[in-house]
Amino acid sequence: ELKVEQNPLFLSMQEGKNYTIYCNYSTTSDRLYWYRQDPGKSLESLFVLLSNGAVKQEGRLMASLDTKARLSTLHITAAVHDLSATYFCAVDTPTQNTDKLIFGTGTRLQVFP
Amino acid sequence: GAGVSQSPRYKVAKRGQDVALRCDPISGHVSLFWYQQALGQGPEFLTYFQNEAQLDKSGLPSDRFFAERPEGSVSTLKIQRTQQEDSAVYLCASSDQRNTEAFFGQGTRLTVV
């Protein structure tokens, strides 16, 4: 059974600092997603990573994928308060009958001045 | 519509009551998913439809949970004889075909008292 683990679970960081969130998954998958969730809100798609070595960047966030290591990272550069949210990685399971996503436990990020 | 729409946004049910949660996917989207998100957790897969066919219901936690999509568009998730452990946010997502990115609705927060 596919399992997805994120670390850290909680991250409190100062504005202007850099940090990386890690996402490990247990079996082969075709694609990996990163989502952001604000309190009481739904999931906002940040990145879709489709192949080994894929790297995508949007503003202060950069995501990468290493399918051989079954590892994805979400790197935060020069954090700002607006990045405070919970971040989830999710891996899809495209079998014959389903495209369901398996989500990680989430990383709750708090950025303080 | 512009996005996935879910109703109601909030539902309080007395233990033992039946509830029905509605999902209007993005127009033309073939695939529809239901997820359950408990407080402080990542979303967990419940069930998947391709058009009107329910291809995967492996995530439904008990036979009290039932989902349908009779005409291949709107879907309803029904929970019979609600229990306190059913309290969660129920998220609906849709995608335009298999193996493409799914877009999430705002969710329905169910509280069973």
pLDDT, one tens digit per residue, over A33-64 is: 999 999 888 899 999 998 888 899 999 999 99
Q: Which residue has the higher pLDDT, A4 or B98?
A: A4
Alpha carbon distance A89, A22 (integer Å): 9
Nearest CB to A98 within list B35, B40, B55: B55
For residue B75, the Cα-to-chain-centroid distance in whole angstroms is: 8
For the stretch B23-62, pLDDT in tens is 999 999 999 999 999 998 999 999 999 999 999 999 999 9
For the stretch B79-105, pLDDT in tens is 999 999 999 999 999 999 777 889 999
Of the pLDDT bands very low, low, confident and very high (cuts 50, 70, 90), residue B1 is low
In this predicted structure, what is the pLDDT of residue B13?
A: 98
User: Are B55 and A105 in contact (CB < 8 Å)?
Assistant: no
Alpha carbon distance A31, B110 (integer Å): 31
Alpha carbon distance B75, B72 (integer Å): 8
Residue A1, pLDDT > 80, answer: no
Q: Which residue of A has its CA nearest to B104?
A: A43
